[in-house]
Amino acid sequence: MGGRAWVLAAVLALGLCAPAQAADFNQAAKQTAQDRSQAQAEMSRAKQDIAQERAAMQAKLKALQESLAREKKALAQAREDLAAVSRRRAELSRQLAETSGDLKELAGHVRAAARELLAMAERSPVTAEDPGRLEALRAYLNKSRFPGLTDIEKLVNLYFGEITAGGQIARRQGALVNQEGQDVQADLVRLGGFTTLYRVNGQVGLATLGPASGRLLAAGGELPWGLSGDINAYLDRQTDAAPLDISGGAALKQLSRRETLWEQILSGGPLVWPILAVGLAALLLILERLWFFRRVRANTDEMMTHVAELVGKGDFAGALDEADKQKGRPTSNVLTAGLALRDQPSEVIDNGLSEAMLRELPRLERFLTALKVLAAVAPLLGLLGTVTGMINTFQVITVFGTGDPRLMAGGISEALITTQLGLAVAIPILVASALLGRRAQRLAGDMEEKAVALSAALIQARR
């Protein structure tokens, strides 16, 4: 109700104002009609523009659809081509893999052959005449390098060269590294692929090949007796017989590594010194005993015969003079002691003779006990060396394992050499001790025999 009242009031107000503004409404109506006409004209032009743009867009859309269809067709064709190329590629890859496998196998055979020839060339004296072939052969071992037909032909030629040179004797002047490490010019004779003989400044010997440098090296160590003369005779063409190392250098290496007896003994470690000291002490004692027994050796039977004859005649002074001719000897000392008691009862004489023999026995048996002790100590020291050597060996095994036997060789060598040295010292001492002891027993028996004979002669003289 309130809203209607307000509308009626506004109409009444307008009705009251209408006569004053009638002219303005007519003009506004005309203006409105003109605006409407212009708007309709613009709307018509806009519709035409829209229609034109739509037609253009539809044409463009059609062109794009046709282009899309062509592209799709081209894409399909490209996919078919790609599939064909992929199939071709797979086929080529398969063929390449088959071909590469054959080539790799061939390259492997070539490298294996080159490796075998290289191992042969590093020992062959033929290499000294062509050191460059070592590098050529080592180049074959490079896996990044594929050997071609030229390389294979060169390898075959190297093989034939080695075979041909192996059946030849070559005499020439050439470089040699002597035992002092100096480069010298020497007369060289290569005997096939086995050995090279050399002579430089009158010194002859056998040469080996340095595997790294391809140079000839004079073999170390002393040549066996008579071998120098044989080499000189062959170099002077006086004989056709020549020493050969058919082991491919192993014998020469062993010759150069040959140790002297003193070097072998020293490799036994610190315990060889007390064993040697035992041996030296025993040697001095044995020499002293030998000198002693040689000094007291005498013909006691002849002396005793003369003494018994003189005692039987009652010539005691003559008997003493006869006994004094071998003064200092055990039997003579015993007889002298018995003759000094000639006026005593027989029991006193026997006791005096026994006492004299007891005084002489220590002289005869001196150092024999010491020799027996030394003979027992020497192998014990060797056994101690064996224990220490084995301890060292196990320590090496603990640290380095058992992969390299050379690391264990030092301890084993120490163990065996000390045992060997201990036995080598003990056995002669034991034998010498037994012989010297037997010698002392014979002298003691001789003293006892002569003492009994003297006692009997004195008793006989009193009757």
**Residues 283-326 pLDDT 10s:** 999 999 999 988 887 778 888 888 888 888 888 888 888 888 87
Question: How many other CB atoms are found less than 10 A from the CB of residue 332?
Answer: 24
Instruction: Give a three-class secondary structure readout of 218-271.
Output: ECCCCCCCCHHHHHHHHHCCCCCCCCCCCCCCHHHHHHHCCCCHHHHHHCCCCC
Average pLDDT of the chain to the nearest whole number: 85
Does position 132 have pLDDT exceeding 90, yes or no?
A: no
For a pLDDT cut of 90, what percent of the chain falls above it?
30
Cβ neighbour number for residue 456 with a 10 Å cutoff: 13
Q: What CA–CA distance (Å, rounded) separates 130 from 238?
A: 29
- The whole-angstrom separation of Cα 429 and Cα 285 is 10
pLDDT at 161 over 70: yes
- The mean pLDDT value for 33-42 works out to 91
Report yes or no: 414 and 388 within 8 Å, Cβ to Cβ: yes
Instruction: Please tell me whether residue 171 adopts helix, strand or coil conformation.
Output: strand
* Averaged pLDDT for residues 431-458: 90
Q: Which helix (H) or strand (E) holds 186?
A: strand 183-191
Interstrand relation of 195-200 and 216-218 (parallel, antiparallel or unpaired): unpaired
Q: CB neighbours of 256 closer than 8 A, spacing ≥ 6?
A: 219, 220, 221
Rounded distance, CA 168 to CA 161, Å? 11
pLDDT of residue 56 exceeding 90, the answer is yes
Torsion sign over Cα 263, 268, 273, 279? negative
User: Got the DSSP string for 52-113?
Assistant: HHHHHHHHHHHHHHHHHHHHHHHHHHHHHHHHHHHHHHHHHHHHHHHHHHHHHHHHHHHHHH
CA dist 54 and 287 (Å) reads 140
Yes or no: say if 196 and 129 are a contact pair by the CB < 8 Å rule.
Answer: no
